[in-house]
């Protein structure tokens, strides 16, 4: 990304224009996304999470049938 200062342009106007270009290009969003690396989730964790979701879903359905929820 290259932004050149125009003749007679104030610093604040230049900074405003620069920051606007950066936001529109998506560079800042991409940099923030890549800032921290997510570790891959193990198969065991995925399986446990899925089992927990299923168990919780059944509990909610049962509570709805009983009228307690």
Instruction: Check if the beta carbon of residue 38 is closer than 8 Å to that of residue 29.
Output: no
pLDDT of amino acid 37? 83
Of the pLDDT bands very low, low, confident and very high (cuts 50, 70, 90), residue 68 is confident
DSSP 1-61: ---PPPTT--HHHHHHHHHHHHHHHTHHHHHHHTSSPPPPPPHHHHHHHHHHHHHHHHHHH
Q: Is residue 1, in this structure, part of any structural domain at all?
A: no
Write down the residue that tokens 């104030």 correspond to.
10
Return d(Cα 62, Cα 66) in angstroms, integer: 6
What integer pLDDT is reported at residue 52 of this predicted model?
A: 98
Domain match, 50 and 67 both: yes
Q: Whole domain around residue 19: which residue ranges?
A: 8-38
Residue 3 lies in a domain: no
Residues 34 and 46 in one domain: no
pLDDT above 90 coverage of the chain, percent: 70
Structural domain count, the chain: 2
Q: What is the pLDDT of residues 14-39, one digit of tens each?
A: 999 999 999 999 988 898 888 888 88
- Percent of the chain residues topping a pLDDT of 70: 100
Q: Are 67 and 46 within one domain?
A: yes
Whether 47 and 59 share a structural domain = yes
Asked if residue 34 is part of any domain, the answer here is yes
């Amino acid at each position: 990304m290259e932004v050149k200062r125009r003749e007679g342009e104030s610093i604040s106007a230049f900074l405003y224009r620069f920051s606007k270009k950066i936001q529109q290009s998506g560079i800042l969003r991409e940099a923030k996304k890549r800032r921290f690396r997510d570790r891959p989730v193990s198969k065991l964790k995925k399986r446990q999470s899925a089992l927990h979701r299923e168990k919780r879903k059944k509990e909610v359905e049962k509570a709805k049938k009983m009228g307690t929820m």
